[in-house]
Structure 1
Amino acid sequence: MEFVKNQIVTLTIEDMGTNGEGVGRVDGFTLFIKDAVIGDVIEAKILKLKKNYGYARIEKILEPGKDRVEPVCPVARQCGGCSLQHLSYEKQLEWKFDKVKNCLERIGGLEHIEEKMEPVYGMEDPYYYRNKAQFPVGTDRNGQLITGFYAGRTHSIVENTHCCIQAKINQQILEMVMEYCHRNHITAYDEKNHKGVLRHILTRVGFQTGEIMVCLIVNGGKKKLVNLGQLVDDLKAISGMTSITLNINKEKTNRILGDKIISIWGQDYITDYIGNVKYQISPLSFYQVNPAQTEVLYGKALEYANLQGEETVWDLYCGIGTISLFLAQKAKKVYGVEIIPQAIEDARQNAKINGFDNVEFFVGKAEEVLPREYEKHGVYADVIVVDPPRKGCDETLLDTIVTMAPKRVVYVSCDPATLARDVKILGEKGYQVEKVSVVDQFGHTSHVESVVLMSRKDK
């Protein structure tokens, strides 16, 4: 059967794709359909056709699948933030476990991997868990100032001040900022003509400390925000308000934050804890957004490292030292490597405020620092921990890890596909998978974190 764009078809959803979209077939032709769940019988409109598959949109749900639930958020379908809110949380966890398992089997070439996988670590409450938010500011069709989140794959803002996965205090903060802007005729930044003032509103909340940060990202300097003292007075009345800053970003770019921070009131950072370790967090710091599950994730990494107190450990892609300091509680010496200088400054400060003197940090690419320190200074490793970005580890780095021959490699991953690829490479070079744990850091989204323990095969 020949299909055409805008054609309405009826089908049953049989599977879920890697981004959580429903997968169904009509006369053997595969369609990917956002917001559909397994078991749904739907009418769908075809949006785009490729040679062997296409994309469609739900027009009508004829019969809901047994795992379909009503999203808590009224704009969940339009907003690009939560792609799985219509799926029961139990089923989300099952799907994420399978996603990691399937990648390790198909890409990693590992057989019977499920036998080495622990049950998935889900959240007690998968709502209001994010400690960081970046809200774009724009205008609606009537020219009114709005804030919310971008609709999926667009820069069109879905107006929303109450997000069900962000810290609850954000709603009050956003309403105060919007009220101030209306009162003082502060304009929204327009990325087409590079005019306007307010680009984004960034918030961070210390879940353990209760400290709150508000950072306004501005296309220009402080003078652009007239009567700013009014807003500061409102914000500082919020219990826990600790830091109010401006971030200057005059660039024609999609990058949210510029490099310059101006302190307006209070400190230019907040603090929070993961477990017993205290971290100092600035507007520019990378810090895990779900502190409760991060403690679970890092706890698994520490458990898998199996430190007895005499080991030398390398933590690659260490950021502000979050995992490094967790490891330093049990290791003799920890070396952290990160390419971003500001992150390493934060890491050194975090080591200082926790009183760790057994940690040393290097700025640079892990694939360059590690060979240099190993070859020139003879620094070896009993355990290497990697927590790379989505693209996974550089192949040169994997070669160096193999050359250094640590007893254990602990791989923390935010992308099961690149994890599986790297696990396969390490497997071909003498390392075998011992354990895998899947941790849900990002409930109601398709993202998943995992930790894999690999040990050197006895020769």
Structure 2
Amino acid sequence: MGTDGEGIGHVATEDGRSIAVFVKDAVMGDTIRAAITKVKKQYVYARLVEVIKPSPYRVEPKCPVARPCGGCTLQHVSYEKQLDYKWNKVKNCLSRIGGIEHPEDLMEPIIGMENPWNYRNKAQFPVGRDKEGKVVTGFYAGRTHTIIDTPHCDIQAEGNDTIIKCVRDFLQEYNISTYDEETHTGLMRHILTRVGFTTGEIMVCLIINGTKLPHADVLVERLRQIDGMTSISININQDKTNRILGDTCKTLWGQDYITDYIGDVKYQISPLSFYQVNPVQTKKLYDKALEYADLQGGETVWDLYCGIGTISLFLSKKAAKVYGVEIVPQAIADAKVNAQINGIENVQFFVGKAEEVLPAEYKEHGVYADVIVVDPPRKGCDETLLQTIADMQPKRMVYVSCDPATLARDVKRMGELGYQVEKVAVVDQFCQGGHVETVVLMSKKDT
């Protein structure tokens, strides 16, 4: 199976070569009939036409639109095999890209979920209309912006169905226009929902191509009747872009945020906040990062790409001082509030790019770190940042990653700079999908 969960088979060519065939929805062990859709020099893409003999790992998807929908790419694979696939994906990246011999010797068993359903605390539903003019909401088909109408989703928080039906009915009843990407016309673009799994608080944010939602008072009154409703807002996005959220939010009713807990740390979450989508697994992920940091109470820690301070505040309980760095000003504002509401005073936050803030602080003020934690976006860490980390010579580096390929690339670079991998933990944060979270502990080779 490939990096996105697609099946990989091989077909013999007339000149005796073996060509790899990438087939979405095929499972390792399937015997299938496929139709070629795109031909490259060394490989081809194909679509699944028929399963002749199913793999022992193939299961019936729980969702009737799992195959066309781009939200879940592995529902047709047994959960045990999903976990096996993700663990091996990390192992193969560390070996092939990271240059680590026998990475499996450093890897712990994958941390999965007892119930890999209804785990997402955040959903973003695009809104459109079908050929008959009826409002549709759901998720995009894979690699397209065609909306698969989805009144129910098995990986989203329970209760989203009621919210989405309420908004759909309102849009239909009051004939509110829906956004058309090609013409950049229409008002309603997306519906964003967030749920506090611990608190039960619910947020609804309506992303619009305008500055005002007609009859908003009617919709607010209806949404208020839903148990747990805490925050109702609009987000203004008038740009011709694929980016879902604009920079401006206006609260229509309730608070500007909801609250939730990871462990015993409380967080305020606004529509623009980055917050892990799987709170059950996030606790396990952060526990593992804290374990790898091995804090004894006197350490100085830098948390790079800190978001709203989720990991920073977790680490602060066992460190002398934590410094967090994040490029998004709103996230840092949230981080400071989160520190305040938890009564945490040994943290300090910086707004800016990690690859600019840390080198500047190191060169100009001589800052140091006993432990550095990084949790970068998919593109991984900047080379300047990695060099600065090596120059600062922390005892340990904890790398939290959502992309095994860029993780492996950065691990290889840190190896060249004097750090070696000690432990690897794989966490299934995105059940039924192909993505995976990884925590890696690196230490100075001379220690």
User: TM-score with structure 2 length normalisation?
Assistant: 0.98
| Partner Cα separation in structure 2 for residue 126 and residue 154 of structure 1 | 26
One of 339, 349, 355 as aligned partner of 1:351: 339
Asked if the contact 1:297–1:451 (Cα under 8 Å) also holds between the matched residues in 2, the reply is yes
The code of the aligned residue for 2:149 comes to E
| Partner Cα separation in structure 2 for residue 368 and residue 196 of structure 1 | 40
| Partner Cα separation in structure 1 for residue 105 and residue 167 of structure 2 | 52
1:31 aligns with 2:21: yes
The code of the aligned residue for 1:266 comes to G
One of 216, 222, 229 as aligned partner of 1:234: 222
**Cα offsets for 1:78-115 (capped at 9, x unmatched):** 10010000000000000000000010011111112111
One of 231, 236, 261 as aligned partner of 2:249: 261
| Partner Cα separation in structure 1 for residue 103 and residue 187 of structure 2 | 52
1:289 aligns with 2:277: yes
The code of the aligned residue for 2:391 comes to T
The code of the aligned residue for 2:242 comes to N
1:105 aligns with 2:81: no
One of 283, 293, 313 as aligned partner of 1:325: 313
| Partner Cα separation in structure 1 for residue 361 and residue 19 of structure 2 | 54
The aligned counterpart of 2:3 is 18
Find the residue that maps to 1:231 and give its secondary structure: helix
| Partner Cα separation in structure 2 for residue 158 and residue 144 of structure 1 | 13
Find the residue that maps to 1:237 and give its secondary structure: coil
The aligned counterpart of 1:10 is none
**Cα offsets for 1:305-347 (capped at 9, x unmatched):** 0000000000001111110000001000000011111111111
Large movers: runs of 4+ above 3 Å: none
One of 166, 177, 180 as aligned partner of 1:187: 177
Query: How far does residue 360 in structure 1 lie from its aligned partner after superposition?
Result: 0.3
Find the residue that maps to 1:265 and give its secondary structure: strand
Ranges in structure 1 where 5+ consecutive residues have no aligned partner: 1-15
User: TM-score with structure 1 length normalisation?
Assistant: 0.95
One of 145, 167, 176 as aligned partner of 1:155: 145
Between the two proteins, what is the percent identity of the paired residues? 69
| Partner Cα separation in structure 1 for residue 216 and residue 325 of structure 2 | 40
The aligned counterpart of 1:411 is 399
| Partner Cα separation in structure 2 for residue 194 and residue 110 of structure 1 | 48
| Partner Cα separation in structure 2 for residue 121 and residue 265 of structure 1 | 39
The aligned counterpart of 1:85 is 75
Query: How far does residue 227 in structure 1 lie from its aligned partner after superposition?
Result: 2.3
The aligned counterpart of 1:250 is 238
| Partner Cα separation in structure 2 for residue 338 and residue 226 of structure 1 | 36
Find the residue that maps to 1:379 and give its secondary structure: coil
The aligned counterpart of 1:3 is none
| Partner Cα separation in structure 1 for residue 243 and residue 419 of structure 2 | 38
Count of aligned pairs:
442
Find the residue that maps to 1:209 and give its secondary structure: coil
Ranges in structure 2 where 5+ consecutive residues have no aligned partner: 13-17
**Cα offsets for 1:368-388 (capped at 9, x unmatched):** 111221222121100000001
Q: How does 1:2-401 map to 2 (within 5 A)?
A: 16-27=1-12, 28-222=18-212, 225-401=213-389
C-alpha RMSD of matched pairs (Å):
0.9
The code of the aligned residue for 1:152 comes to G
The code of the aligned residue for 2:2 comes to G
Asked if the contact 1:145–1:187 (Cα under 8 Å) also holds between the matched residues in 2, the reply is no
| Partner Cα separation in structure 2 for residue 227 and residue 110 of structure 1 | 60
| Partner Cα separation in structure 2 for residue 32 and residue 158 of structure 1 | 23
The code of the aligned residue for 1:419 comes to L
Query: How far does residue 70 in structure 1 lie from its aligned partner after superposition?
Result: 0.3
Asked if the contact 1:136–1:147 (Cα under 8 Å) also holds between the matched residues in 2, the reply is yes
| Partner Cα separation in structure 1 for residue 184 and residue 89 of structure 2 | 41
| Partner Cα separation in structure 2 for residue 20 and residue 244 of structure 1 | 36
The aligned counterpart of 1:8 is none
| Partner Cα separation in structure 2 for residue 100 and residue 226 of structure 1 | 49
| Partner Cα separation in structure 2 for residue 103 and residue 52 of structure 1 | 21
| Partner Cα separation in structure 1 for residue 406 and residue 211 of structure 2 | 41
| Partner Cα separation in structure 2 for residue 374 and residue 263 of structure 1 | 40
Query: How far does residue 197 in structure 1 lie from its aligned partner after superposition?
Result: 1.2
The code of the aligned residue for 1:178 comes to R
| Partner Cα separation in structure 2 for residue 65 and residue 111 of structure 1 | 31
One of 436, 449, 459 as aligned partner of 2:424: 436
| Partner Cα separation in structure 2 for residue 424 and residue 252 of structure 1 | 39
Query: How far does residue 193 in structure 1 lie from its aligned partner after superposition?
Result: 1.5
Find the residue that maps to 1:96 and give its secondary structure: helix
The aligned counterpart of 1:6 is none
Find the residue that maps to 1:351 and give its secondary structure: helix
The code of the aligned residue for 2:411 comes to V
Asked if the contact 1:161–1:170 (Cα under 8 Å) also holds between the matched residues in 2, the reply is no
| Partner Cα separation in structure 2 for residue 117 and residue 252 of structure 1 | 44
**Cα offsets for 1:259-282 (capped at 9, x unmatched):** 111111100100000111111000
Query: How far does residue 195 in structure 1 lie from its aligned partner after superposition?
Result: 1.5
The aligned counterpart of 1:5 is none
Find the residue that maps to 1:304 and give its secondary structure: helix
Query: How far does residue 63 in structure 1 lie from its aligned partner after superposition?
Result: 0.6
The aligned counterpart of 2:15 is none
The code of the aligned residue for 2:8 comes to V
| Stretch moving more, 373-382 or 261-270 | 373-382
| Partner Cα separation in structure 2 for residue 259 and residue 399 of structure 1 | 33
Asked if the contact 1:22–1:34 (Cα under 8 Å) also holds between the matched residues in 2, the reply is yes
Asked if the contact 1:189–1:219 (Cα under 8 Å) also holds between the matched residues in 2, the reply is yes
**Cα offsets for 1:177-218 (capped at 9, x unmatched):** 011111111111112112211110000000000000000111
Find the residue that maps to 1:432 and give its secondary structure: strand
